[in-house]
Amino acid sequence: MIADNKIELHIPSVMGYEKTAMECAASIAKKMGFTEDRIEDLKTAVAEACLNAIEHGNKMDTSTKVGVTLTVEKTKLQVAVKDEGKGIGEIQPPHIEDKMEGKDKSRGWGIFLIKSLINEVSFESSPEGGNITKMVIYLEK
Amino acid sequence: MNKDIQISISQKDEVSILYIKGDITVNSGETIEEAYRKVSNAGAKKILFYFDKDGYINSGGIAILIGIASESKKNGQTIRITGLSSHFQKIFNMVGLTKYTEIFPSEELALKGF
């Protein structure tokens, strides 16, 4: 759905569909004039936010959807990823040493990557239920 | 066999090379782990992972590779990596995988002095 400067899509809560949202975001960022490097950063961040929503938010329940809203502004692209879940609480930053030694499970890099690659990120609860990951990437970092 | 990924294995002198074409994700993880264990069980001590420059790697795939790096450390193996795009070289560096593996810009350079 396209309304003015907003593009909305809904993907099934199935691993692999994050690539649809990722490619859509990349296509818009390319039109906006983002550099190839920043487009790659955006692709990873969007994919990881969708994966979190699919896996942790919606618990891979195929009756649920993940909503992705891309808002185009002159100097930035905003991406909101919404699930239908109850939230996953605070996640500690991962340390590879702990994972290498088996002290921590090897998963858990998604939020770390989003925070590392995107200019602004926030995690909110939606008033209608569900969680929203809001990300902003600027044309010039 | 996962349809998202294709892996072929070859041997050059003492180095076992895993040519990986496709996405590195949780879904393809088992296929990657199987290929690693195949060369590992055959006694490989030097392993080169040759990734697809256009492949998609997500956090689940990174976790799989960390698991392999951890196993290789216990097995006394050395892992080198090539074929990665500059973006995923940056990601591997960010997560710390480069503390346990070495990234090279080409197969030729990865094999040199291995």
Q: Number of folded domains in chain B? A: 1
Handedness of CA B31, B74, B63, B114 (dihedral sign): negative
Contact B2/A at CB under 8 A: no
Q: Label the pairing between strands B46-50 and B78-82.
A: parallel
In the prediction, which pLDDT does B87 show? Answer: 97
- pLDDT over 60 at B1, yes or no: no
Residue B73: closest CA among B45, B96, B31 = B45
Residues 6 or more apart whose CB falls under 8 angstroms from that of A57 comprise A66, A83, A84, A85, A87, A88, A130, A131
Name residue A121's beta-bridge partners: A135
Please give the backbone phi and psi of residue A120, each rounded to the nearest 5 degrees, phi first.
-135, 140
CATH number for position B13: 3.30.750.24
Domain that holds residue B77: 5-111
Condensed to tens digits (0 to 9), the pLDDT of residues A14-53 reads 999 999 999 999 999 999 999 999 999 999 999 999 999 9
Would you call A106 and B70 a contact, using CB atoms and an 8 Å cutoff?
yes
pTM above 0.90, yes or no: yes
Place of tokens 């990865």: B110
What part of A 59-88 touches B (C-beta under 8 Å)? none
